[in-house]
């Protein structure tokens, strides 16, 4: 006999959704400025981080910074280690990140930190080294998280989101990997993905991960690719030159909202420079 009163198994994404919505509720009626950045330590162009901080300091009102994933590279935990020539170690990258966030705390009222593919590279290494995901989940409680390091470092304004996206007011900040190889293709895909799945209305999507900048208005939504505030990495240049490689731009994105509604004229990518010449 099947016990029809037995509670169903609740998947991890539902637990994460509950935590994400609780965090989002704090910003649903936010009024102020918004900067979205992808640091990629140790490749970061720190002169442009200074530019971002200086421009944010000159703005009136509240300020939120979203570290939208790939805050560190963690190449040592990746297949790309073979072609990256990155001399830094993971702990050095983490310490540098904490120092960068500490500087950001001088300017911003709140920092929202999204954990995405680069931050999770350690877990992927563990999955390959041992039996599988179940064992990794059992090991995780014994491993420090980014949030643990932030608390130990006494970062007072950083809030941690274990999610590939977060919605602040009517703006979705997303770090999705699909369809990112061709410049511009990810913008329509973001609309197709979020439109039937996100209950709360949205007017802006900030898309990270592509390392490109640009914007479109698609089906009444402004979609912005934020770029990345780091130089092109070795493994981007190690493949065959087939003429299809996208051109990456260095920068971040900036926006403004009032009572949770974005001013579309003030939501744009902030261009800092092109990738280096070969």
As a whole number, the mean pLDDT across the chain is 87
CATH class of 32-270: alpha beta
pLDDT, mean of residues 184-200: 91
Residue 42 to residues 84, 93, 195, 229, 275, Cα–Cα distance (Å)? 12, 6, 35, 11, 16
- Tell me the per-residue pLDDT of 109-156, one tens digit each, with 9 for 90 and over: 999 999 888 887 777 777 776 766 677 777 777 788 888 999 999 999
Sheet holding 171-174, edge to edge: 165-168, 171-174, 204-207, 221-226, 213-218
pLDDT exceeds 80 at position 236: no
Domains of the chain, by residue range, sit at: 32-270
Report the DSSP pairing between strands 268-274 and 249-258.
antiparallel
Can you spell out the DSSP letters for 79-116?
TTHHHH-----HHHHHHHHHHHHHHHHTT-SEEEEE--
pLDDT single digits (tens) 247-273? 789 999 999 999 999 999 999 999 999
**Exposed/middle/buried for residue 265 (C-beta within 10 Å: 0-12, 13-18, 19+):** exposed
**Are 251 and 223 in contact, with CB atoms under 8 Å apart?**
no
How much is the pLDDT for 168?
A: 97
Q: What is the pLDDT of residue 159?
A: 95
State how far the Cα of 97 lies from the Cα of 30, in Å rounded to an integer. Answer: 26
Mean pLDDT to the nearest integer, 52-58: 98
Look up the pTM and report it. Answer: 0.90
State pLDDT tens for residues 201-226: 999 999 999 888 999 999 999 999 99
Beta strands in 115-200 (DSSP E): 158-161, 165-168, 171-174
């Amino acid at each position: 006999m099947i016990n029809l009163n037995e509670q169903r198994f609740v998947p991890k994404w539902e637990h994460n959704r509950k935590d994400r919505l609780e965090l989002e509720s704090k910003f649903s009626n936010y009024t102020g400025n918004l900067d979205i950045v992808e640091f990629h330590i140790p490749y970061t162009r720190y002169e442009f981080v200074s530019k971002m901080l200086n421009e944010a300091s000159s703005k009136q009102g509240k300020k939120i910074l979203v570290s939208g994933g790939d805050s560190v590279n963690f190449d040592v935990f990746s297949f790309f280690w073979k072609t990256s020539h990155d001399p830094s170690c993971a702990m050095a990258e983490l310490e540098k990140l904490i120092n960068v966030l500490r500087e950001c705390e001088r300017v911003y009222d709140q920092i929202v930190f999204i954990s995405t593919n680069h931050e999770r590279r350690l877990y992927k290494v563990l999955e390959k080294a041992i039996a599988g995901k179940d064992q990794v989940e059992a090991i995780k409680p014994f491993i420090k998280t980014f949030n643990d390091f932030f608390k130990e470092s006494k970062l007072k304004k950083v809030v941690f989101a274990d999610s590939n996206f977060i919605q602040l007011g009517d703006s979705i900040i997303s770090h999705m990997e699909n369809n990112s190889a061709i410049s511009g293709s990810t913008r329509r895909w973001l609309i197709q993905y979020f439109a039937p799945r996100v209950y709360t209305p949205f007017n802006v999507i900030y898309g990270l991960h592509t390392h490109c900048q640009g914007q479109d208005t698609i089906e009444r939504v402004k979609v912005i690719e934020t770029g990345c505030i780091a130089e092109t990495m070795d493994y981007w240049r190690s493949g065959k030159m087939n003429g299809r490689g996208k051109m990456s731009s260095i920068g971040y994105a900036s926006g403004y909202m009032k009572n949770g509604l974005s001013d579309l004229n003030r939501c744009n990518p902030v261009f800092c420079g092109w990738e280096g010449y070969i």
